[in-house]
Chain A
Amino acid sequence: MKPELEEIAAFLLRQLLEKGADDAVVHAHSSSLHQIKFANNKVAKTGTDDAASAIVFVAKNGRTAMTTLKRFDREQATETAAKLVKFTSSLQPNPSYAGIAEGSFKYPSVPGFDSSLTSLEDKAVDLVEKCVNAAREQGAERTAGVFEWGTEEEFLVTSRSVEARQEGTSLYFSLRAMAADGSGHKVAAARKLSALKANEAAEQAGELAVKSRNPVDAKAGNYDVVFDPLSFSCLLDTAGQAASIFSVEAGFSFFTGKQGTPVASPAFTMWDDGTLEQGFNSTAFDDEGVPTRKNLLIDRGVLKGFLHNTSTAKRHKTQTTANAGLVAPEPWNLVVDKGKHSLEELFGEARNGLYITNVWYTRFQNYVSGDFSTIPRDAAFLIKDGELTQPVKGLRVSENMVSLLKKVKALGRDRQQIRGWEVETPVLTPPALVEKVRITRPVS
């Protein structure tokens, strides 16, 4: 990060303390993000977004407030500090607030900075062209998607002796391939270009598109469903959000009141890992500056705990899990323990089987009970005698999230990192076989 941005962030922290703040955090970010969006096999748009800002948090006399600093000069920092302290003083107390982490800390470096991403222009266009062609070579007629890459630098200082900095790079590729009325969608995410499996994703999407042509309406009923990593991640993303103690308190968690009890089948183990190598959201420290780590959330089906920051942890008489969010703890990268099966073996275990490669529009009737539905999109197939047979369409998974996790029968051995349009928290997961999933469809 430019030294002047760090200097202004540190200056702003001093200003806040001079004005009477009890706790303060200044978290500066500077990023340069690029996107190539393509549709109908051609580039539809390129985008470049350069931004710098600092999130500023203050606690004073039991009151808390936040703002952002967008212009990095001493005059603006002085004005922001004065305004924030005045604003905070005008508020009612926040009895939920119990402090931020006491530093200082040592940070392991998070692997995965790729300096080649600072000037990728021609290579990025070539990558998109190659991937579009790869999908078409599989028989896809049309492709659409995005390739995104970027660099980000962070500097964090707090009133509790924390001073932390890091830089990171990230890449994301998404390609949907269409062949007549068939379609397939695959994604790839990484922190280094060499680790991004974009071409593989494009080929697989093209292959799925061709295989899924001429789908028929499947019957409603209970199916053993093999969820591909993309579709399973869309569901697990909601489990990651539900694992935040903030969601529990706010009435947005189907894990409420279930700590120490089974919430999934014994075959299922999941943790959150801010240090994951090639993890799209990996970070050396959370928003208080606490070094991130691996936190077991579900161990062989049993809910072990929730994600915390320092303040929520104190209230719940536990330790921070290094998942701040100063207001709401958030997962970094969800990781599902791999199983022993190949994808074909999972197909072989499915009776009255269905293979769902992608879902979208997951919505809850009740976040606490976990009643929800979600809609398969792109390739879906019936499974008969361990083989994919008829492509199907017009389906809906109408389920309860805890029931569904308890019905996980087996997991695959090959994991993929998924980040997507509906997967906010990156998920590293294998495919999963889930028994007796309730499938509904429109009636007329």
Chain B
Amino acid sequence: MFILFFGSTHSRFCCLHEDLADYCVEFALSHGASYAEARLEERSSTGFLLKNGVLESAAFDSYAGIGARFVLQGALGFVAVNQLTRPSLEKTLSTALKVTKASAKIAEKTVFAPSFAKKAKHAVQCRRSPESVSAEEKTSLLRELDSAVLASKAKIVSRYVSLSDDVVRKYYSNSEGSRIESLTPYVNVFYAFTVEAGGKTAQRNWQYGASKGYECFGGWQLQEKLRDEARAIAKNLSEAKPAPSGKLDVIAGPEVVGIMAHESVGHPYEADRILGREAAQAGESFVKKEMLGTKIGSDAANVVDDPTVEGFGYYLYDDEGVAAKRKKLMTNGVITEFLHNRETAAEFGCESNGGARASEYDKEPIVRMSNTFVLPGDYSEEELLAEVKKGVFIKNFQEWNIDDKRLNQKYVGSEAYLIKNGEVTEPVFQPVIEITTPALWSAVAACSKKVELHAASCGKGEPMQGINVSMGGPHCLFKGIRLLSK
């Protein structure tokens, strides 16, 4: 299994720091707070960057910090400290309490949905912990990826490959009695390269990540992938015909399906957006509270967010101490569940489904996705193709965006091919899907059986919180989508 529960002999927390987290809670309560919680985070990381084959950056880091929230006279306060001594905590907390108290006269009265107090310890088991892998081996892994791009024999005009890892230990404590410890490793690869052919250039930027140790490299087979991607881009630049435009069938690969699920299902279903709490930052949502139960997609469209599956957005308890669970966001095209934290759940009159996350100790937990994906169907990839007389297969993409209500979105294909009579044929150049959310999800006709998850960093909040997520799905057939030519 992915998860192992560890006993006291495996606990690697500094007890002094745990005590300080508990002290934060006590201090806030003793100064009038009606609720308090503290998150201690101890993180050790390394990072390496290879630019055009040169190791231009190598770094390691380790830190401990505490982020705490409290409710004072109904107002919500947040505090973050990285100098972990009692005097330092007391000074910062005292200032924070003062600001929050002053704000109470014009503050929203904070109410949290009930949550059972939890006591739990869990750690992700990994065969090759980031801390056990040498810097030499990590830089060798990077060199292998860089060499793979060159091995494509395509004309590569720039290469950028980075590798980073973190081991994150968290201790969560709140005034309702929850005490939760967790230990999670992360490994993250980002690459970008530019290919030139036929007097034009094209780029590929992508990310791989896992909540695991370095054993993840074995499953990724990145050398083959990078080499093949560089070759495919060169071929596309040299041979691609203009993408057809007009109403066509489109088969989108898991990378494209994943970004669609993330952007136009995950984000608009975040309850804090629906309530307007992120209006000045990541925006609001075309989905309203009363739209639960509304059908906006086809029967074949099923999307979930699930932190408990193996992915870059994995966790078992959220940053409010609520147990993680699968959220069925869209079921047979119907809006069936939103993403909640305890604050939005209280507003909606439901229980939190464990969607509160903070990217680091010094950020407040807000409603976030984890691993968001389209559920598999019962077609093989070949059967999906057989459904298409004339269409386009979009394997991956580069440019994409969506408006701040999550209704108007665009995806520009990178590696893409024409489909004729059920066969993938010649490459086509940058097909463009520019479509509304209901039109997109209503066009889903069938999905294949095999799901792929891809790692990403999702941005939300102010200050910006980039957080580890996965997104993905199977290959999906969209019937009668209007394609544009770049």
Contact = CB atoms under 8 A, between A and B. Distances in A.
Nearest to A395: B408
A46 B76 contact: yes
A251 B194 contact: yes
A36 interface: yes
A195 interface: no
B interface majority secondary structure = strand
B54 A96 contact: yes
A419 B464 CA distance: 13
B63 A377 contact: no
B279 A178 contact: yes
B471 to A, nearest CB: 16
Contacts of B228: none
Contacts of A34: 95, 99
Contacts of A249: 51-52, 158
A368 B194 contact: yes
A44 interface: yes
Contacts of B157: 251, 368
Contacts, number: 260
- By size class, the interface of chain A is 35 or more
Contacts of B37: none
Interface string A29-46: 000101111111011111
Interface residues of B, number: 86
Interface stretch (A16-24, A335-343, A359-367): A359-367
B425 interface: no
Given A174-B280, A251-B157, A125 B59 contact: no
A52 B65 CA distance: 11
Contacts of A37: 462
A105 interface: no
A116 interface: no
Given A68-B63, A251-B157, A396-B408, A47 B401 contact: no
Interface string B51-81: 1101111111111110000000001111111
**A interface SS class:** strand
B141 interface: no
A291 interface: no
A442 interface: yes
B201 to A, nearest CB: 5
Contacts of A375: 401-404, 408
Top 3 A-B residue pairs of the complex, sorted by shortest distance between their CB atoms: A251-B158, A144-B279, A361-B401
Interface of B: 49, 51-52, 54-65, 75-83, 88, 91-92, 95-96, 98-100, 102-103, 105-108, 134-136, 139, 157-160, 192-194, 200-203, 275-281, 283, 362, 364, 398-404, 408-410, 412, 414, 430, 434-436, 439, 462-464, 482, 484, 486
Given A53-B63, A368-B158, 16 more contacts: A38-B106, A43-B75, A49-B79, A67-B61, A71-B83, A250-B192, A365-B398, A365-B414, A368-B157, A371-B399, A375-B408, A394-B403, A421-B280, A441-B434, A442-B434, A442-B436
Interface of A: 32, 34-40, 42-53, 64-68, 70-72, 83-84, 87-88, 90-97, 121-122, 124-125, 128-129, 132, 142, 144-146, 174-176, 178, 185, 249-252, 327, 360-369, 371-375, 377, 394, 396, 398, 421, 440-444
12 contacts: A42-B106, A46-B99, A47-B79, A50-B82, A90-B136, A91-B135, A124-B99, A249-B158, A327-B57, A366-B194, A441-B434, A442-B439
